[in-house]
Structure 1
């Protein structure tokens, strides 16, 4: 008799996920079989469900791009063994059992819970690799983080502070700003009450690096507050559109504009991903990183998680337990 598992599926573009009882998958030769403990929602999951993601999928498909669980089966030579606690970075994590290639799996520290690990990779990985790589953030420099209370923005605040930068966090509302302060921001700006973000940032001395997961008008304003030689990191467009950046300013002020898509490094430089993640796990084990879950929900409440993201009501990551 086949083992049945609970699995989320997007069955039509533009619709919320449904939960189905389906036969458990079996690992193909060379694959790892995982019992999933938790998975995280990302803004990319919203785009994918709408058919707007850069790596589209045809329905029906299982949502989720990252998660954590326990190894059930592993091929010889993979360095993985049954019972090992791991993170996985692959499409289709919103399910109780999944089969993936070993390259998508990495062990986690013993003290890291599945809920912490599930939302760790994309958010922390994006911020660490963007800031330490293309952003070339150095100790003592000024980092401006837009959407600083979001799942990705909050990690940029935390990592920037850990790297010795002076962090300015931009977010909406007193509760969110307090979370941003607690994550290490030296200054915070309430986007709901700030009519001139460019002026506010310039009053604080301008920026060496802008980390922008928002785009639209906030991205444009922060770009104009960059110092000569600054770096602008385009992470995403939660504001609804890319920022219209004046390239003449980039030329005159020697500003570098970098697009950064963490998932693209699976092909571009997979070793950079693994090296970055190992460094992040070391920081976590040393007590220097403290993942914040904006909401932890059971699989049956996955639709509520989509609404939290869509309406920007979450602080930190939305995690789904499996």
Structure 2
């Protein structure tokens, strides 16, 4: 089979497409013919050896896929030909993958493979962040940084499903329009965003900030929170891990909350199935609408990661593995 491989930790330019043996599924694993694979920030970090998980070279990136079941173990409720999405941790940028059955989920008939390839990690991360970690309540206001990207649009939609008002922070007017189309109630530009948020909330501030960007925004994110607000730390796309001024937490009784879905589900392997049930309900209610970004062929994986790296992406970037 064909697979994208990282041959050295030199970033996207080190990616090559090679012929490799098909995987042999282990106990409890589902063999999947991949139609679409998600492109995510962990993939970019892994090509540079900067992610928490450091696979041995050479390896295939890719943590989420969608396709059809070739073979499934008994007791999973899955059978050959079923349309599924799956989380694979690593190795998803290939024509065939073996995925743990507890991380493999049947797709709704109306959801495309491209949409399915962007649901597992982004929407489950957003669900963990907002429903469980932030304890979001209906009527609260959620601010989302990087709101035009894959995790950003997922966060907007999950927040709306939970009954919250949403404010998107984006870098350009085009991205503001994109975020609104994805479900944001309001959008402000990153330049001067704090003043814009204060105006939108009548100086009250927001209840929750979902921040996958980090860097210089964190201090203003704390300033944007109302009393007993919660800041969700989802990543550091800006490239710098900021310091947290503890006095800001004390004065307004603020919580700073870490969110690491991949680590949590290693210990709670049944949790993703619970999340999938909630997400399917959101989908049926019309809240969950996967936002397709650019699509690239498997051979163009370096360009897909470059699009993510230069912060030009809107929606969920995917690789098309099969038509």
Q: Same fold, TM exceeding 0.5?
A: yes
Which residue pairs with 1:6 in the alignment?
2
Kept after mapping to 2: 8 A contact 1:73/1:82 = yes
Judged with a 3 Å threshold, the aligned counterparts in structure 2 of structure 1 residues 101 and 123 are, in CA distance, closer, same or farther, namely: closer
Aligned residue among 200, 210, 213 for 2:196: 200
Does 1:167 find its partner at 2:166?
Answer: yes
Normalised to the residue count of structure 1, the TM-score between the two structures is 0.94
Kept after mapping to 2: 8 A contact 1:265/1:273 = no
Does 1:122 find its partner at 2:102?
Answer: no
| Distance across 2 between alignment mates of 1:212 and 1:183 | 18
Aligned residue among 71, 74, 78 for 2:72: 74
Which residue pairs with 1:229 in the alignment?
228
Give the superposition deviation at 1:232. Answer: 0.7
CA displacement, residues 65-111 of structure 1 (integer Å, 9 cap, x when unaligned): 00111111112222221111111101211100122332221211111
Normalised to the residue count of structure 2, the TM-score between the two structures is 0.93
CA displacement, residues 194-253 of structure 1 (integer Å, 9 cap, x when unaligned): 2xx333322333110010000011222111111111111000001111232211111221
| Distance across 1 between alignment mates of 2:285 and 2:35 | 24
Does 1:187 find its partner at 2:204?
Answer: no
Give the superposition deviation at 1:40. Answer: 0.4
* Equivalent residues, number: 315
| Distance across 2 between alignment mates of 1:123 and 1:101 | 18
Kept after mapping to 2: 8 A contact 1:125/1:276 = yes
Kept after mapping to 2: 8 A contact 1:201/1:222 = no
Q: Give the secondary structure class of the aligned counterpart of 1:219.
A: helix
CA displacement, residues 165-187 of structure 1 (integer Å, 9 cap, x when unaligned): 12111001111000111222222
Give the superposition deviation at 1:270. Answer: 2.6
CA displacement, residues 41-66 of structure 1 (integer Å, 9 cap, x when unaligned): 10111111110101111210011000
Give the superposition deviation at 1:140. Answer: 1.2
Q: Give the secondary structure class of the aligned counterpart of 1:270.
A: coil
Give the superposition deviation at 1:34. Answer: 1.1
Judged with a 3 Å threshold, the aligned counterparts in structure 2 of structure 1 residues 30 and 142 are, in CA distance, closer, same or farther, namely: closer
- RMSD value, Cα: 1.5
Does 1:279 find its partner at 2:278?
Answer: yes
| Distance across 2 between alignment mates of 1:321 and 1:312 | 21
Kept after mapping to 2: 8 A contact 1:147/1:153 = yes
Which residue pairs with 2:315 in the alignment?
316
Kept after mapping to 1: 8 A contact 2:34/2:65 = yes
| Distance across 2 between alignment mates of 1:124 and 1:99 | 22
Judged with a 3 Å threshold, the aligned counterparts in structure 2 of structure 1 residues 104 and 159 are, in CA distance, closer, same or farther, namely: closer
Kept after mapping to 2: 8 A contact 1:293/1:317 = yes
| Distance across 2 between alignment mates of 1:134 and 1:298 | 36
Which residue pairs with 1:211 in the alignment?
210
Q: For structure 1, which runs of at least 5 residues remain unmatched after alignment? A: none
Which residue pairs with 2:86 in the alignment?
88
Q: Give the secondary structure class of the aligned counterpart of 1:127.
A: helix
Judged with a 3 Å threshold, the aligned counterparts in structure 2 of structure 1 residues 137 and 97 are, in CA distance, closer, same or farther, namely: same
